Amino acid sequence: MKLPFAESYRIKMVEPLHRSTLPERRQWIEEAHYNLFNLKSEQVYIDLLTDSGTGAMSQLQWAEMMLGDESYAGASSYFKLKNAINEITGFPFFLPTHQGRAAENVLFSSLIKEGDLIPGNAHFDTTKGHIEFRKAEAVDCTIDQAYDINLDAPFKGNIDLKKLEQVYSTHSVEKIPCVIITVTCNTAGGQPVSMQNIREVSTLSKKYGVRVVFDAARFAENAYFIKTREAGYQDTSIREIVREMFSYGDAMTMSSKKDAIVNMGGFIGFRDKELFEQSSVFNIMFEGFVTYGGMSGRDMNALAQGLYEGTEYDFLETRIGQVAYLGGLLREAGIPVQYPFGGHAIFVDANSFLPHVPREEFKAQTLAVELYLEGGIRGVEIGAILADRDPITRENRYPALELLRLAIPRRTYTNNHMNYVAAALINVWERRNTIRRGYRIVKEAPILRHFTVTLEKISE
Ligand SMILES: *Cc1c(COP(=O)(O)O)cnc(C)c1O
């Protein structure tokens, strides 16, 4: 018999979870104003809100915590992290930051000014927030296939080169400080970008004199998809693929809470010394001195170790395999999910799941609340609430896809938990025709509203 696949680690420390009853959940979600960000963690049984900072560190990472050097300047932890970043990414210069959006804030302070255009593949929400906050515009150049959730294509995170060239050729390049390649493309469903596409974007951008910046939160997962899906990379190691990917870039911003498997942290990688030095000034202003930038020494140690573990093939196979396991259970039950599955999450298509709920009543949010009520599972809306209002007209933006994202933390839950999640969502699926109304917004913030929005249930 062929031996089945099993996890590449075993469990040494456990954390208890709390189950709850339906009446409790009804009360809690009402008190949370139907915003799942407002729930207390003990009100959640299985937390699939995000895979960001929610992973389990390894014994080596915890051992590294004890070795942290907390010197203000020149700590050995800084040099440990510098070596790991050089080795894994190939970028010669780096700045530590407290998380990914801080890296964006520092880098964009050097790069982006009012009126600029920043093309890319479906920018992440904080990235877009930092662009729009500077009165610049994020131009989505993702391939159209990304929005066909049933199309079986291997690299649905790719940038459409025609759309990109259209931006380059119709605007002055002084107004285009960089193109951002997000790997994997979170907003398009954790879909990967092919090496060929990265190469072609780089060639085109060089021709026009535009910098290539990676939003690299899930670079290792992207490398795993290149290895397993792209011709010519089967025998290339994950680390070699990662080095090649980054060789096409001028800089990278990193949320270490994703593929570097730490609970907090980030950094910026630079090829160019001048940009590094310019950004160092902003780092000192916003984050801290350049050898710690918002991170303690122990956290830099754990991050350095996490970069090595996050780029191991066995780990990635376990992780991406678990995401696909959940996706497979849902797909078998006929639930509309994005396919092929992304690397970090399963995306449920709320448009076809809840056809009766009007889009103005936030379909994906409605589905997220129903899944919480059903099983105490917390997912997150990737739909009209997240898409926010148009910065100029202030009208609600309705994206092509209304998705419920079930993000899987790294090394945290077992496949029994995945079975439970699938069963709960199947129960909601079976009563989907009774769900006819959604929610209206009571209160919202002017930017990144999804974190704090309060909602009210619309009765039939
Ligand atoms: C999480 C994430 C960010 C922001 O990082 P934080 O650490 O949450 O601030 C930016 N880009 C992408 C693609 C992300 O997934």
Annotated catalytic residue 75? no
pLDDT at residue 186 greater than cutoff 90: no
pLDDT at residue 460 greater than cutoff 80: no
127 lines ligand 1 (CB under 6 A): yes
pLDDT at residue 188 greater than cutoff 80: no
CA–CA gap between residue 460 and residue 458 (Å, rounded): 7
Cis preceding linkage at 228, omega within 30: no
Q: What is the pLDDT of residues 418-454, one digit of tens each?
A: 999 999 999 999 999 999 999 999 999 888 889 999 9
CA angle, residues 46, 380, 401, in degrees to nearest 5? 140
Which tokens go with 16? Answer: 């208890």
Per domain, the residue ranges of the chain are 22-51+313-457, 59-310
Mutate which of 104, 126, 183 for ligand 1 pocket (most atoms within 8 A of beta carbon): 126
User: Which one is catalytic: 5, 6, 63, 72?
Assistant: 72
Are residues 211 and 179 in contact, defined by beta-carbon separation less than 8 angstroms? yes
CA–CA gap between residue 200 and residue 143 (Å, rounded): 14
Q: Given pLDDT bands bounded at 50, 70 and 90, which one contains residue 20? A: very high
Which tokens go with 223? Answer: 């490398």
Q: Given pLDDT bands bounded at 50, 70 and 90, which one contains residue 388? A: confident
Average pLDDT score, the chain = 96
Annotated catalytic residue 223? no
The pLDDT of residue 117 is 98
Task: Say which CATH class 59-310 falls into.
Answer: alpha beta
Annotated catalytic residue 98? no
Q: 22-51+313-457: what fold?
A: Aspartate Aminotransferase, domain 1 (3.90.1150)
Percent of the chain scoring above 70 in pLDDT: 100
What secondary structure does DSSP assign to 198-253, as a single string?
HHHHHHHHHHHT-EEEEE-TTHHHHHHHHHHHSTT-TTS-HHHHHHHHHHT-SEEE
pLDDT at residue 187 greater than cutoff 80: no
Q: What is the pLDDT of residues 22-78, one digit of tens each?
A: 999 999 999 999 999 999 999 999 999 999 999 999 999 999 999 999 999 999 999
Residue whose CA is at the smallest distance from ligand 1 atom 4: 100
Percent of the chain scoring above 90 in pLDDT: 91
Are residues 127 and 138 in contact, defined by beta-carbon separation less than 8 angstroms? yes
pTM over 0.85: yes
The pLDDT of residue 317 is 96
What secondary structure does DSSP assign to 31-48, as a single string?
HTTT-GGGS-GGG-SEE-
Q: Given pLDDT bands bounded at 50, 70 and 90, which one contains residue 390? A: confident
The pLDDT of residue 149 is 83
Q: What is the pLDDT of residues 349-373, one digit of tens each?
A: 999 999 999 999 999 999 999 999 9
10 Å Cβ neighbour count for 286?
Answer: 15
157 lines ligand 1 (CB under 6 A): no
Instruction: Output the CA torsion sign for 81, 83, 87, 92.
Output: positive
User: Which one is catalytic: 33, 80, 82, 258?
Assistant: 258
Nearest to 65 by CA among 262, 255, 247: 262
Query: By CB neighbour count within 10 A (0-12 exposed, 13-18 middle, 19+ buried), where does 321 fall?
Result: middle
182 lines ligand 1 (CB under 6 A): yes
Which tokens go with 220? Answer: 């290792």
- Residue 69's contacts (CB-CB under 8 Å, 6 or more residues apart) are 75, 76, 77, 78, 297
Which tokens go with 340? Answer: 């092929």
pLDDT at residue 340 greater than cutoff 90: yes
Q: Given pLDDT bands bounded at 50, 70 and 90, which one contains residue 213? A: very high
185 lines ligand 1 (CB under 6 A): no
